[in-house]
Amino acid sequence: MKKTFFSAVLAFTTAFVTGCSSGRIHEKSYLRAVSVTGYGDKTTVLAFFGEDETVSAVGYDLDQARYSAELKSGRDLFTGYTELIIVDGNECRDILWHILYKWKVSPSCKVVYCEDGGELLERYGAEQLIGISEQAVKKGMVPECSVITVLGKMCENGTATVAGINLDRNVEGHIIY
């Protein structure tokens, strides 16, 4: 009797904790990298895990651009696994704060600079750009560029140095504000 009761409780707990439907993971797009450009209105280019194509969206702020991207992709956007943020130098502290605390990206998400980050992301893809930024840090060309580190430096000094990657994949340190 105890064994049957224990088995029933275990089965109920397992179903409750893991959920009964198996298709939920495919109902979302998992953001891998985002490029944010523009002063005022924001243009975003988003790259997702498991997808080769990017989505470009515009909004009067980051949340509106995210909403537009969700409409274009036809799926909700999950940002918790984001690995790369590309900024163009405009309103960087506000953008990074919003993406970290409102979109809830990982604090270890890398930050890089490019004047035309959308084209950079479309041309080379998230994986290659993440590798370039990690190598620049390992080689001592730039300091640690995680979003939490960059935001800390920006709050302390008003500026931070990140990897600046141009469209030819050349890297140099770039100061953002």
What confidence score (pLDDT) does residue 27 get? 85
86 neighbors 36 (Cβ within 8 angstroms): yes
- Report the C-alpha gap between 67 and 57 in whole angstroms: 9
Across the 177 residues of the chain, what is the mean pLDDT of every consecutive 10-residue run? 45 42 73 96 96 95 96 95 97 97 98 97 97 97 97 96 97 96
Measured CA to CA, the distance from residue 81 to residue 88 in angstroms comes to 22
Name the pTM for this structure. 0.86
User: Counting beta carbons within 10 angstroms of the beta carbon of residue 71, is it exposed (0 to 12), middle (13 to 18) or buried (19 or more)?
Assistant: exposed
Q: CA dist 92 to 42, 138, 174, Å?
A: 12, 24, 12
Per-residue pLDDT reduced to its tens digit, 96-147:
999 999 999 999 999 999 999 999 999 999 999 999 999 999 999 999 999 9
Cα 2 from chain centre? 49
Residue 86's Cβ-count burial label (10 Å; 0-12, 13-18, 19+) is buried
- Domains delineated in the chain: 28-176 (3.30.420)
Give the pLDDT confidence score for residue 21 in this predicted structure. Answer: 44
